Amino acid sequence: MAVAAKVRHNNNVTALQENADWNSFGRANASQKWRRQSAAMGNDVTRAIVAAAQVQPGMRVLDIACGAGEPAISIAQLLAGSGDVVGIDISPSPLKIAAERATQRGLSNVTFQQADAHLLPFADNRFDRITSRLGVMFFSDLPRALSEMRRVLKPSGGAILLVWGPMDQPYFQTTIGTILRMLPGVATPESGRKMFALGDNGVLSHALRQAGFSQVKEELVTAPWTWMGTPEEVWEYFQDVTVPFASLIQSIPAERRNEIDAEVVRAIREYFDGTNITFTATVNIAIAVK
């Protein structure tokens, strides 16, 4: 019988990582609507960070900015009922989805709670591993968040952080890249630039060393990023959930909207095989030891 995964709420969540857009009702609904396709699209990237984490039976793992539950759920499955996995996120809505997914899989070794990466509600030296998939780029105070990670890691524990690589890759060039080409007077918003701020080789490594980590290494990895559906659907999904570019999308003049939508769909269609959109994702994986 499946064991219900728990979601705990931390009333001491600070405003450091809080952003009303991340917690919007519309985004929460979109996450539910596109749940199956979104999970499938991220599968290979999830596998990459799980493989890099090299978890062993009995380990305690903290997954930061886990969203709808990855890689926390995959790690809990790999531990096969042993150990302890905690997934945290600043936004409560995706945590409910994460708990439902864990319950459906009968996982009893994973829990989820709302918490801020800048003020982790855990004792020192608690976890063997810390993971974070596509979240670290958005921390408002990266040195503080990395310091908190190091604090709660056990001696010789490892942090495995996966962030976006460069913007010059299919998922972004067909969408945001198309808008920027068609509206040359428009600039990428700061929130959008942050998505790729840690993609350049050495930037995240330097931040980890400054926070006191050792044995730091990072590697750019390219993995499948496949959308199960049509070009129109992936463009709708992108607009629904990609908060950092929301202001850019909203700035499209009404009289140009149909034209730009059509051009984005045309660009995405170049990757359409009749069933799926066969993008790739280039990500940067950093590994560091306390």
Residuewise pLDDT in 10s, the chain (290 residues): 334 455 555 544 443 444 445 454 445 555 678 888 988 999 999 999 999 999 999 999 999 999 889 999 999 999 998 999 999 999 888 899 899 999 999 999 999 999 999 999 999 999 999 999 999 999 999 999 999 999 999 999 999 999 999 999 999 999 999 999 999 989 899 989 999 999 988 999 999 999 999 999 999 999 999 999 999 999 999 998 888 899 999 999 999 999 999 999 999 999 999 999 999 999 999 999 99
- Provide the residue ranges of all domains of the chain, joining segments of one domain with +: 7-289
CATH fold of 7-289 reads Rossmann fold (3.40.50)
Separation between Cα atoms, residue 157 and residue 136, nearest integer Å? 18
Q: How many CB atoms lie within 10 A of CB 174?
A: 24
Does pTM surpass 0.85?
Answer: yes
Residue 43 CB partners (closer than 8 Å, separation 6+): none
pLDDT at 11: 45
Biggest distance spanned by C-alpha atoms of the chain: 58
